[in-house]
Amino acid sequence: MRADAKKNYDHLLNVARTVFMEQGSDASLRDIARRAEVGLGTLYRHFPTREALLEALLRSSFEALAERADELQAADDSAAALMEWLQEIIAFTHEHRGVIAPMVSVIEDHESALHASCVSLRAAGAALLSRAQADGKARADLDGAELFDLIAALAWLREQPSHASRADRIFGIISGAVLNTGKSIARR
């Protein structure tokens, strides 16, 4: 990449990070180009779709979450490890408002720039689930795709302001449904 192109690319990523954080992942691409003081075509040249921009922006975070799952595979308590990872991925999507919808919409679209990252995350979750199942701590009749569905549902709910006060409770209820520990979540 030419030096000037590289500079634009990096600057666009930084501005996009700011704007997405402020306004969510459905922020205006025009606004990003404007704030980066770059032609709109330059943004489209480097990132042909919103998904491509999100992927470039969040790649390292996705990788970190996948690595975190690997680390947690070594934890003593496989159920606690799964719960911890669920907490972390929900916290991540909560931080990046609006990111769960594109993640779900591209999970079966092999052409999307965001596809690989989502599949990796699903696989990372599936691996943690598998170990918990092997330990008899997670319900056996659940697979990675279903776990990803539950994560997506929780993540979407988390984005709704009216839900905020119940977020922990609902997380407990749904993640509790994944485990074999009966219905023991914190009572009020």
Q: Does 49 bind DNA (CB under 7 A)?
A: yes
Between helices 78-95 and 144-158, what is the axis angle to 10°?
40
Q: Does 84 bind its own copies (CB under 8 A)?
A: no
Q: How far is the CB of 173 from DNA (least distance, A)?
A: 35
- Of the residues 72, 81, 83, 107, which one makes contact with its own copies according to CB under 8 A: 107
Q: Does 152 bind DNA (CB under 7 A)?
A: no
Number of separate helices (H) and strands (E) present in the chain: 9, 0
Identify the burial level of 136 via C-beta atoms within 10 angstroms of its C-beta, where 0-12 means exposed, 13-18 middle and 19 or more buried: exposed
Q: How far is the CB of 5 from DNA (least distance, A)?
A: 3
Q: Which entry of its own copies, DNA, none binds 150, CB below 5 to 8 A by partner kind?
A: its own copies
Q: Does 150 bind its own copies (CB under 8 A)?
A: yes
Q: Alpha-carbon distance 37 to 95, whole Å?
A: 26
Q: Does 170 bind its own copies (CB under 8 A)?
A: yes
Residue 129 in contact with residue 147, Cβ under 8 Å?
Answer: yes
- Of the residues 10, 22, 28, 164, which one makes contact with DNA according to CB under 7 A: 28
Q: Does 24 bind DNA (CB under 7 A)?
A: no
The pair of structure tokens assigned to 164 is 């905020």
How wide is the angle at C-alpha 56 spanned by C-alphas 146 and 104, nearest 5°? 20
Bridge partners, residue 179, by sequence:
138
Residue 142 in contact with residue 149, Cβ under 8 Å?
Answer: no
Q: Does 46 bind DNA (CB under 7 A)?
A: yes
What is the C-alpha end-to-end distance of the chain, expressed in Å?
57
Residue 48 three-state SS = coil
Q: Does 153 bind its own copies (CB under 8 A)?
A: yes
Q: Does 173 bind its own copies (CB under 8 A)?
A: yes
Q: Which residues bind its own copies (CB under 8 A)?
A: 104-105, 107-108, 139, 141-142, 145-146, 149-150, 152-154, 156-157, 160-163, 166, 169-170, 173-174, 176-177, 180, 182-183, 185, 187-188
Q: Which residues bind DNA (CB under 7 A)?
A: 1-2, 4-5, 7-8, 27-31, 37-42, 44-46, 48-50
